[in-house]
Amino acid sequence: MGTEGMDEASNMKVVLKHYISGSAQETDMNLTAGTIKLKAPLGSNALVVKNLFLSCDPDMIFKMTGHKREHCDPYTLGSPLTGYGVAKVLDSAHPDFAMDDLVWGITGWEEYSLISDTKNLIKIKNTDVPLSYYTGILGMPGLTAYVGFYELCAPKKGDYVFVSAACGAVGQLLGQFAKLHGCHVVGSAGSPDQVNLLKNKFGFNEAFNYKQEPDYNATLKRYCPEGIDIYFDNVGGKMLDAVLLNLRPHACIVMCGKTSQYHLEHPEGIQNLPSTVTKEARIRGYLAVNYYHLYPKFLEIILTLIKESKVVYVEDISDGLETAQKALVGIINGLNIGKQVVAVNCL
């Protein structure tokens, strides 16, 4: 009993105060103090972890709205947010995990977490890269880009590829895969700095700031005058509708996410789907979580590409859990330069 008491630690957490309507604000969340027992309950299969890096992802904004949608339950008010993160195991009641193991997967926005659902938790074996990369290029966004590009859209050299939200973890990697494949790549992003990164760091042929474009159809005709063979849709809404008017024959639209729609109760209507008939286009939706079996193959490929400097990766690391609220809200406003991550603790 005395020992258990000694294992209790203070635990700062980012909790949701109320469900949001409209855009997310920092003040929709609170940083609150709590405590946690650092022992995994015996016979529970659970882990207690120390969180190292937390990923800021657009679907977190949707979970803050309180709207229920399949595969996307709302956050519980007063509980810490959850999302992808990198963590170190402090105590394990699970046979596959041991103290000091490094893992990535779903964890809490707090200093320490008790993780009961270990099904999709992956042990980190390669530590000669920044650990934060496992929230992005080496984690779910990386797998998302890999599956979307290589498994779903049958890309060909010379294809015209357009990526929205191209500065995010998925987008920057998708664009680089497409360039490595010999495609012509255009990206959209939400700030001049992001556009600069796309053109000068990730090697996109063209990039534009969607916030300065009043008419996406005209914008796409300007930046993709030949039309679009492959579109990686990270935003949905009006951009998707404009893309549908600019498809080349047999185009493929890969549905990665709906950033522009996450805060809306009723998504914007897409009017131009009839173009899929006249252009004989395909639309493919997918969940990278169902392609975990490809993760080892993907990891081998991407680690090699990183080591050979054939892909680059840019992160925007916000230091300390006390900066997490600002960092999360920032991704919606395009304030991040590269993949937004929060560093919780030092190792």
Residue type, 40: A
**Site for a copy of itself contains 283 (CB under 8 A):** yes
| Structure tokens, 252 | 């493929």
Q: Give the DSSP per-residue string, 103-172.
A: EEEEEESBSEEEE---TT-EE----SS-GGGGGTTTSHHHHHHHIIIIIIS---TT-EEEESSTTSHHHH
Sketch the per residue contact string, 126 through 165, with a copy of itself: x for CB under 8 A, - otherwise: ----------------------------------------
Nearer to a copy of itself, 140 or 207 (CB): 140
Which positions ≥6 away from 269 have C-beta within 8 Å?
none
Residue type, 332: I
Nearer to a copy of itself, 40 or 147 (CB): 147
Size of the site for a copy of itself (CB under 8 A): 34
Nearer to a copy of itself, 32 or 272 (CB): 272
**Site for a copy of itself contains 117 (CB under 8 A):** no
Q: Where are the alpha helices (DSSP H) in 115-201?
A: 140-146, 169-180, 192-200
Nearer to a copy of itself, 255 or 314 (CB): 255
Q: Min. distance of Cβ 231 from a copy of itself in angstroms? A: 13
**Pairwise CA distance, residues 295 & 280, whole Å:** 31
- Candidates 166, 167, 281, 302; binder of a copy of itself (CB under 8 A) is 281
Burial 88-127 (b: 16+ CB within 10 A, else e): bbbbbbbeebeeebbbbbbbbbbbbbbbeebeebbebeee
The pairing of beta strand 82-92 with beta strand 47-55: antiparallel
Closest CA to 203 of 230, 173, 233: 173
**Site for a copy of itself contains 77 (CB under 8 A):** no
Sketch the per residue contact string, 203 through 242, with a copy of itself: x for CB under 8 A, - otherwise: ---------------------------------x---x--
- Candidates 116, 272, 323, 345; binder of a copy of itself (CB under 8 A) is 272
Among 7-15, 212-220, 264-272, 302-310, which window interacts with a copy of itself (CB under 8 A)?
A: 264-272
Residue type, 337: I
The 8-class DSSP code of residue 272 comes to -
**How distant, in Å, are the alpha carbons of 219, 221, 272, 328 from that of 246?**
10, 7, 10, 32
**Site for a copy of itself contains 276 (CB under 8 A):** yes
- Candidates 271, 307, 310, 326; binder of a copy of itself (CB under 8 A) is 271
Q: Min. distance of Cβ 50 from a copy of itself in angstroms? A: 32
**Site for a copy of itself contains 282 (CB under 8 A):** yes
Sites of contact with a copy of itself (CB under 8 A): 69-72, 236, 240, 255-258, 261, 266-287, 290
